[in-house]
Amino acid sequence: MDIIEADVVIVGGGPAGCTCALYTSRADLKTVILDKNPSVGALAITHQIANYPGVSSEMSGDALLSLMRDQAVEYGTDYRRAQVFGVDVNGEWKTVYTPEGTFKARSLVLASGAMGRPASFKGEADFLGKGVSYCATCDGAFYRGREVAVVGFNKEAIEEGQVLTKFASTVHWITSNDPKEDDLHAQDLIAHPNVKHWSKTRLMKINGNDSGVNMIQVKSRSSESQEDVAVDGVFVYMSGSKPITDFLGDQIALREDGGVVVDDFMATSCEGVWAIGDIRNTPFKQAVVAASDGCIAAMAIDRFLNSRKSIRVDWVHS
Ligand SMILES: Cc1cc2nc3c(=O)[nH]c(=O)nc-3n(C[C@H](O)[C@H](O)[C@H](O)COP(=O)(O)OP(=O)(O)OC[C@H]3O[C@@H](n4cnc5c(N)ncnc54)[C@H](O)[C@@H]3O)c2cc1C
């Protein structure tokens, strides 16, 4: 698989990542954004954003985010859909692993937000990596011809369910509510011949043995008893509010509340790695704060990569 080199690799294409990319691209730094899914971050799911300075109070978060992304791309940012599943921050060049390729850069920016959640279903933590996954694009091919479950009802669950239909013999889609009839993506997934939809049903437990997952227990709202479903994989897509840092291992210092520790320049405990936006888990989770973090990190990165003594402002246009 290809190795792509850049000056700056940014994990996450929310307001923090896009703002950082806008500034680093304008500073002539080769910048790549790796974004798992542009529709599932905190800003993307915000119905109406009435408090971002200078934009109409009618604007949706998704529309504002598209503007930010387009502006960064216009200045040269290479925006790619890819879920980061691991990084190696040792040494001068940081390595970032995705199913779509490996990326190397001298500066790495963590901007994956705080829409993560701790493992909460019974058995989820025990079988993580042994049948439980959060990334069909990464792991789907392991389940060719086998039965899997997809749990969740958001856009990510629907898109990842579609990915799994290419590999699995049956995709059991478990949703606690019924998708609306005008939700065409959800209806498309339900209509797929490989998909069995378990409507108004909850996942109760994930079971398995030393070889991994082999069964889930589900309970329908209309039934008193639980039902066993034989599956080899369970893909969980439930939103929460925990910083998304699972791809970091223990390479970067985190606070007790899960937020990444940074200094005034958004630099983390590892030289060459910055963290911006909700991943810091500050009490002020706002789009404008995330954008501000992105700007600060970008200017610090420009200074770091060009060995400048001071920060170069972005508004001196000659
Ligand atoms: C329901 C809701 C309403 C809100 N309303 C407002 C409001 O009205 N005004 C306001 O200012 N703020 C609002 N906020 C807060 C604001 O949206 C966030 O503070 C802001 O979006 C944080 O930006 P971010 O870039 O850090 O993270 P996010 O916007 O969450 O973006 C993170 C990005 O990282 C990607 N990502 C995650 N994991 C990976 C991975 N492993 N690999 C690659 N990419 C990854 C995600 O797909 C996403 O695109 C709201 C938040 C929520 C949840």
Question: 104 and 249 share a domain?
Answer: yes
Q: What angle do CA 98, 6, 41 make, to 5 degrees?
A: 50
| Cα separation, 282 vs 30, whole angstroms | 29
Residue 253 belongs to some domain of the structure: yes
Residue 289 belongs to some domain of the structure: yes
- Contact, 150 vs 132, CB < 8 A? no
Question: 297 and 271 share a domain?
Answer: yes
Question: 178 and 261 share a domain?
Answer: no
Q: CATH code at 211?
A: 3.50.50.60
* CA 289 – ligand 1 centroid, Å: 11
Residue 58 belongs to some domain of the structure: yes
| Cα separation, 238 vs 118, whole angstroms | 10
Number of structural domains, the chain? 2
* CA 60 – ligand 1 centroid, Å: 13
Give the pLDDT score at 162.
97
Question: 186 and 101 share a domain?
Answer: no
Residue 291 belongs to some domain of the structure: yes
Residue nearest to atom 4 of ligand 1 (CA): 46
- Contact, 104 vs 54, CB < 8 A? no
Task: Pick the last residue of a domain from 189, 217, 236.
Answer: 236
Residue 265 belongs to some domain of the structure: yes
> Which residues sit with their C-beta closer than 6 Å to ligand 1?
11-17, 34-38, 40-43, 45-46, 49, 51-52, 83-84, 111-113, 115, 244, 247, 277-279, 285-288, 290
Task: Pick the last residue of a domain from 217, 236, 255.
Answer: 236
Residue 98 belongs to some domain of the structure: yes
The closest-lying atom of ligand 1 relative to the alpha carbon of residue 278 is 26
Exposure string of 160-188, with b = 16+ CB inside 10 Å and e = fewer, is bbbbbbebbebbbbbbeeebeeeeeebee
| Residue 277, phi-psi category: left (phi > 0), alpha (psi -120 to 50), beta (remainder) | left
Question: 147 and 201 share a domain?
Answer: yes
224 contacts: CB under 8 Å, gap ≥ 6: none
Question: 210 and 167 share a domain?
Answer: yes
pTM (predicted TM-score): 0.92
| Cα separation, 148 vs 165, whole angstroms | 10
Question: 149 and 222 share a domain?
Answer: yes
Task: Pick the last residue of a domain from 236, 254, 289.
Answer: 236
Three-state secondary-structure class, residue 213: strand
* pLDDT by 10s per residue, the chain, length 318: 789 999 999 999 999 999 999 999 999 999 999 999 999 999 999 999 989 999 998 999 999 999 999 999 999 999 999 999 999 999 999 999 999 999 999 999 999 999 999 899 999 999 999 999 999 988 999 999 999 999 999 889 999 999 999 999 999 999 999 889 999 999 999 999 999 999 999 999 999 999 999 999 999 999 999 999 999 999 999 988 999 999 999 999 999 999 999 999 999 999 999 999 999 999 899 999 999 999 999 999 999 999 877 777 787 665
Question: 110 and 245 share a domain?
Answer: yes
Residue 126 belongs to some domain of the structure: no
Range of the domain at 141: 132-236
8-state DSSP, 143? G
Question: 7 and 112 share a domain?
Answer: yes
Residues comprising the chain, all counted: 318
| Cα separation, 144 vs 1, whole angstroms | 21
Residue 271 belongs to some domain of the structure: yes
131 contacts: CB under 8 Å, gap ≥ 6: 206, 208, 212, 213, 214, 232, 233, 234
- CB atoms under 10 Å from CB of 209, counted, come to 10
Question: 98 and 71 share a domain?
Answer: yes
* CA 245 – ligand 1 centroid, Å: 14
Please, where are the H alpha helices in 175-246? 184-191
Question: 85 and 225 share a domain?
Answer: no
Question: 92 and 157 share a domain?
Answer: no
Three-state secondary-structure class, residue 235: strand
